């Protein structure tokens, strides 16, 4: 078993777990309308060009660009109106030199035309003649065939999480089904003799279970499928049986509580006895969340999260959320890029804070804007207080090389 509280950095802890994770799991085909928020299990290639023809982006006249060169309001270029493009139909004719065809936005560019003059830059002399008051260049106001997506091009790569705009793009190339990754199934166990369910009235010394519900919501928000296994007291045999059941039915298991120093804390022992390689570390150099257990049991990640709600949620964001979002396997290039931008905001800290050298601190902050600048106001409170997470908008990171930050310094922030 890993030495108790021989703390690793967050990056070291991620690498330690990733080393034992399996490759990608099989995917499942879903109708496009059911794919929102799911990750693609395979590349999607465009079977055809989008658009499938040259089309106008404005209402106006399809022309040969050279016929408009030199046109001004004082000296227009006069063109004969020789036809009209009907929406949804292929033009029945060609634009010859000195001619123009009426065309609406989205209409198919007729053969011979290479640009479209906006209606605003024309003047109608009679029903058969227009004057162009502004020249156009070849390709102006036109989307070329395949300009949006070319046939054979990877429209969306494997691992991409589908957004509304992606659904629209896939529909444009005729894709009605996609192969997506199965969501990560996550078993959740709360431990501790002091816990009771939310429906019970706690007696002195007892508290209601918070972590089961925060972790359930956190897993679901990451696209995973959470499953609760209830409250298990500080009983090694019962915890071991519950853990084995959760491992048999899920891709990942989270335990909260029972990870700190104490004679009745049995989580690390139960995890280490469940399979190979077992516990990989017991402690990460962060605050809050130092007494975190990280393990892999027969290819499935297991985390022992601190019992304090704020600590559990912070560690979930740092260690668990990236795995749930990535499909439960070792992070690839895309996941590494996401990790590098996990704290994308920059905000001005409103008060000075102390930090221990060599440890990363994650401070709950409330954000507000003033005079065009983003400010981060620390939400102070102990890690056992769930209200601090409710009041906060995100986490500010204090790097391990600093012994604190002064008011007015810029900090990196991750939104909840």
Residue 262 has pLDDT above 70, yes or no: no
Which range has the worst mean pLDDT, 129-138, 209-218, 380-389, 402-411? 380-389
Could you give the CA distance from residue 322 to residue 331 in angstroms, rounded to a whole number? 8
- Which residues contact residue 396 at a Cβ distance below 8 angstroms, ignoring those fewer than 6 apart? 347, 349, 362, 363, 364, 365, 376, 378, 411, 412, 413
Answer yes or no: do 313 and 256 share one domain: yes
Question: Cis link prior to 115 (omega < 30° from 0)?
Answer: no
24 vs 83 pLDDT, higher one:
83
Answer yes or no: do 107 and 255 share one domain: no
Question: What predicted TM-score, i.e. pTM, was given to this entire model?
Answer: 0.80
Question: Cis link prior to 277 (omega < 30° from 0)?
Answer: yes
Answer yes or no: do 201 and 254 share one domain: yes
Answer yes or no: do 209 and 315 share one domain: yes
The answer to whether residue 149 is domain-embedded is no
Could you give the CA distance from residue 39 to residue 307 in angstroms, rounded to a whole number? 31
Using alpha carbons only, give the angle 397, 403, 282 rounded to the nearest 5 degrees.
65
CB atoms within 10 A of CB 109: 24
Instruction: Give the total number of structural domains in the chain.
Output: 4
How do residues 3-62 score in pLDDT, each as one tens digit? Answer: 555 789 888 998 899 888 877 777 899 999 999 989 999 999 999 999 999 999 999 999
Classify residue 406 as exposed, middle or buried by CB count within 10 Å of its CB (0-12, 13-18, 19+). exposed
How do residues 162-177 score in pLDDT, each as one tens digit? Answer: 999 999 999 999 999 9
267 vs 145 pLDDT, higher one:
145
Residue 80 bridge partners (DSSP): 99, 129
Q: What is the pLDDT of residue 329?
A: 63
Q: What is the pLDDT of residue 154?
A: 94
User: In Å, how far from its chain's centre is CA 85?
Assistant: 42
Distances (CA, A) of 83 to 125, 128, 139: 16, 9, 20
Answer yes or no: do 205 and 328 share one domain: yes
Domain that holds residue 119: 55-143
Residue 333 has pLDDT above 50, yes or no: no
The answer to whether residue 76 is domain-embedded is yes
The answer to whether residue 377 is domain-embedded is yes
Q: What is the pLDDT of residue 335?
A: 52
Residue 302 has pLDDT above 50, yes or no: yes
Which range has the worst mean pLDDT, 75-79, 136-140, 274-278? 274-278
How do residues 179-224 score in pLDDT, each as one tens digit? Answer: 999 999 999 999 988 999 998 999 998 899 999 999 999 999 988 9
H or E stretch covering 271 = helix 267-272
Answer yes or no: do 9 and 104 share one domain: no
Residue 394 bridge partners (DSSP): 365, 415
Q: Which two tokens stand for residue 402?
A: 């600093």
Classify residue 277 as exposed, middle or buried by CB count within 10 Å of its CB (0-12, 13-18, 19+). middle
Answer yes or no: do 36 and 62 share one domain: no
At 132, is the secondary structure helix, strand, or coil?
A: strand
Q: What is the pLDDT of residue 343?
A: 80
The answer to whether residue 151 is domain-embedded is no
Last residue of one domain, picked from the residues 116, 143, 170: 143
How do residues 337-346 score in pLDDT, each as one tens digit? Answer: 555 457 889 9
The answer to whether residue 97 is domain-embedded is yes
Last residue of one domain, picked from the residues 152, 181, 210: 181
Residue 332 has pLDDT above 50, yes or no: no
CATH code for position 403:
2.40.340.10
Beta strand pairing call for 129-132 and 122-126 = antiparallel
Classify residue 3 as exposed, middle or buried by CB count within 10 Å of its CB (0-12, 13-18, 19+). exposed
Distances (CA, A) of 40 to 64, 179, 181, 233: 43, 6, 6, 40
Using alpha carbons only, give the angle 284, 287, 290 rounded to the nearest 5 degrees.
35
Contact status, residue 57 vs residue 105, Cβ threshold 8 Å: yes
Residue 367 has pLDDT above 90, yes or no: yes
Q: What is the pLDDT of residue 366?
A: 95
Query: Residue 135 half-sphere exposure, CB side, CA atoms within 13 Å?
Result: 11
Answer yes or no: do 213 and 265 share one domain: yes
Answer yes or no: do 205 and 332 share one domain: yes
Q: What is the pLDDT of residue 263?
A: 42
Classify residue 73 as exposed, middle or buried by CB count within 10 Å of its CB (0-12, 13-18, 19+). exposed
Beta strand pairing call for 99-103 and 77-84 = parallel
End-to-end CA distance of the chain, in Å?
A: 33
Could you give the CA distance from residue 308 to residue 385 in angstroms, rounded to a whole number? 7
Classify residue 371 as exposed, middle or buried by CB count within 10 Å of its CB (0-12, 13-18, 19+). exposed
Could you give the CA distance from residue 280 to residue 298 in angstroms, rounded to a whole number? 13
Answer yes or no: do 187 and 334 share one domain: yes
At 325, is the secondary structure helix, strand, or coil?
A: helix
- Whose tokens are 């209601």? That residue is 208
The answer to whether residue 217 is domain-embedded is yes
Residue 296 bridge partners (DSSP): 278, 301
Answer yes or no: do 91 and 15 share one domain: no
Last residue of one domain, picked from the residues 340, 368, 400: 340
- Which residues contact residue 223 at a Cβ distance below 8 angstroms, ignoring those fewer than 6 apart? 37, 38, 39, 161, 183, 184, 324, 325
The answer to whether residue 330 is domain-embedded is yes
Q: What is the pLDDT of residue 341?
A: 55
Query: Residue 156 half-sphere exposure, CB side, CA atoms within 13 Å?
Result: 24
The answer to whether residue 148 is domain-embedded is no
Answer yes or no: do 243 and 377 share one domain: no
How do residues 147-159 score in pLDDT, each as one tens digit? Answer: 999 999 999 998 8
């Amino acid at each position: 078993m890993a030495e108790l509280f021989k703390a690793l950095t967050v990056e070291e802890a991620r690498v330690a777990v990733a080393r034992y994770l399996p490759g990608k799991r099989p995917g499942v085909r879903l109708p496009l309308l059911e794919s929102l928020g799911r990750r693609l299990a395979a590349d999607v290639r465009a079977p055809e060009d989008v658009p499938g023809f040259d089309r106008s982006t404005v209402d106006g006249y399809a022309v040969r660009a050279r016929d408009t060169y030199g046109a001004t309001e004082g000296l227009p270029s006069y063109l004969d109106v020789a036809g009209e493009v009907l929406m949804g139909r292929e033009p029945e004719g060609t634009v010859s030199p000195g001619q123009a065809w009426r065309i609406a936005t989205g209409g198919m560019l007729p053969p011979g035309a290479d640009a479209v003059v906006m209606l605003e830059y024309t003047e109608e002399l009679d029903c058969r003649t227009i004057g162009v008051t502004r020249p156009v260049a070849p390709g102006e106001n036109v989307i070329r065939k395949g300009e949006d997506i070319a046939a054979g091009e990877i429209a969306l790569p494997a691992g991409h999480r589908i957004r509304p705009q992606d659904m629209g793009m896939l529909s444009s190339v005729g894709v009605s089904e996609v192969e997506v990754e199965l969501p990560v199934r996550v078993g959740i166990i709360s431990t501790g003799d002091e816990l009771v369910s939310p429906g019970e009235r706690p007696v002195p010394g007892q508290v209601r279970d918070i972590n089961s519900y925060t972790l359930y919501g956190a897993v679901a928000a990451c696209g995973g499928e959470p499953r609760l296994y209830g409250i298990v007291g500080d009983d090694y045999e019962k915890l071991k049986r519950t853990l084995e059941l959760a491992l048999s039915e899920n891709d990942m298991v989270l335990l909260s509580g029972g990870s700190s120093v104490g004679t009745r804390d049995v989580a690390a022992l139960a995890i280490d006895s469940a399979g190979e390689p077992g516990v990989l570390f017991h402690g990460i150099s962060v605050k809050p969340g130092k007494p975190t257990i990280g393990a892999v049991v027969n290819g499935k990640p297991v985390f022992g999260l601190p019992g304090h709600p704020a600590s559990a949620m912070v560690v979930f964001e740092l260690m668990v959320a990236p795995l749930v979002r990535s499909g439960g396997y070792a992070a690839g290039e895309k996941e590494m890029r996401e990790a590098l931008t996990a704290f994308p905001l920059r905000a001005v800290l409103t008060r000075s804070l102390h930090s221990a050298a060599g440890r990363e601190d994650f401070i709950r902050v409330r954000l507000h804007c003033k005079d065009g600048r983003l400010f981060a106001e620390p939400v102070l409170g102990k890690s056992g207080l769930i209200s601090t997470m409710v009041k906060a908008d995100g986490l500010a990171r204090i790097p391990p090389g600093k012994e604190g930050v002064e008011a007015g310094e810029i900090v990196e922030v991750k939104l909840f």
